[in-house]
Structure 1
Amino acid sequence: MSLQAWYMDCSPEDQRKPHRLSPDQPASLEQLQQLGVFHWKLNADIYETDPELQQIRTDRGYSYMDIITIQKDTLPNYEEKLKMFYEEHLHLDDEIRYILDGQAYFDVRDKDDRWIRIAMSKGDLITLPAGIYHRFTLDETNYTKAMRLFVGEPVWKAHNRPADDFNIRQKYVTSLRES
């Protein structure tokens, strides 16, 4: 099954709900790629030995890896962390996540500043480019296990919006105009 993504409504309802527009407005993989968001579907059952994952890591220089489980009874300060992940922000480096189990959403801004929700499930690997405004949340299952990948040492710093004065944000916006 291919990745599902759609434009979101502005409802203040629980962030874990799908928030689809009515009528539904899907977003294609091509639309995501134009934003610099890339996706692979891998076999998460063999992530420790998967040659396809190893090739992606080698090709892209993802030398650092760790695994995080996000659920109420394993993540300290669970509710606060979920609120923090859902704050609109950007990073100075790419964000790379691989869902090993469970489900989650990444929301990204399009060229017109509209939210696109990306439904992630087991086997989905996604890269978000440095400088893109985004946020993360679980879905209503309240569980995901994800691999976090980085080029070199991990950088955990999120810069909440507004962060338009960062060079990486200006570079990203310029790349959107050129595509």
Structure 2
Amino acid sequence: MGIEAWYMDSSDEDQRKPHRLQPNQAVSLEELKQLGVCYWKLNADIYENDPALKQIREDQGYSYMDIITIKKDTLPNYEEKLKMFFEEHLHLDDEIRYILDGQAYFDVRDKKDQWIRIAMSKGDLITLPAGIYHRFTLDETNYTKAMRLFVGEPVWKAYNRPADEYEIRQKYVASLQGS
């Protein structure tokens, strides 16, 4: 079972709800790949010694790793952090997340600026390309534990939209022209 993704409705009801269009408009892995989003399914129960994860980290150069638990009683400033993660933004580096437990959503913009919601659950590893507008939220379970991976030192800076003047954004947009 791969990842599930769909186009979102424009309702401003609770961000943790699925927000599917009626009828649902699914988005395939192939369509996500055209936006530069990469996906792997791994066995999260063995993440500490998983040869598949080790291989991905070596191939991609993901030298830095930490683990964040997003849950009301473990994350300081939980509500503010969730609000911040849900602000539309981009990064100057790829964003790599591996869900070790629980569930969450990543929302990304397609070429026409429409929101696509990606449902993430245990074992899902995703990379969002530098320059893509995106946001993150928990689902209604209000819990996820995720590994954050980086090439080199971690950079946590988010550039909230509009950030079209950044070279990385322009490069990302240009990369979409070919696909």
1:12: which partner in 2? 12
Alignment: residue pair count? 179
Task: Provide structure 1 residue ranges, at least 5 long, that are not aligned to the other structure.
Answer: none
* 1:95 partnered with 2:95: yes
Instruction: Give the Cα–Cα distance (whole angstroms) in 2 for the partners of residues 57 and 30 of structure 1.
Output: 22
Identical aligned pairs, as a percentage?
84
Instruction: Give the Cα–Cα distance (whole angstroms) in 1 for the partners of residues 32 and 137 of structure 2.
Output: 18
* SS of residue paired to 1:12: coil
Instruction: Give the Cα–Cα distance (whole angstroms) in 2 for the partners of residues 171 and 30 of structure 1.
Output: 21
Q: How big is each residue's C-alpha offset from its partner over 1:97-145, in whole Å with a ceiling of 9 and x where there is no partner?
A: 0000000000000000000000000000000000000000000000000
* SS of residue paired to 2:175: helix
Q: How big is each residue's C-alpha offset from its partner over 1:8-62, in whole Å with a ceiling of 9 and x where there is no partner?
A: 0000100000000001000000000000001000000000000000000000000
Shift of 1:178: 1.4
Instruction: Give the Cα–Cα distance (whole angstroms) in 2 for the partners of residues 15 and 80 of structure 1.
Output: 14
The letter of the residue matching 1:8 is M
1:36: which partner in 2? 36
* SS of residue paired to 1:48: helix
| Structure 1 runs, 4 residues or longer, greater than 3 Å off | none
Shift of 1:79: 0.5
Q: TM-score, normalised by structure 1?
A: 1.00
Shift of 1:2: 1.2
1:130: which partner in 2? 130
Q: TM-score, normalised by structure 2?
A: 1.00
Shift of 1:80: 0.5
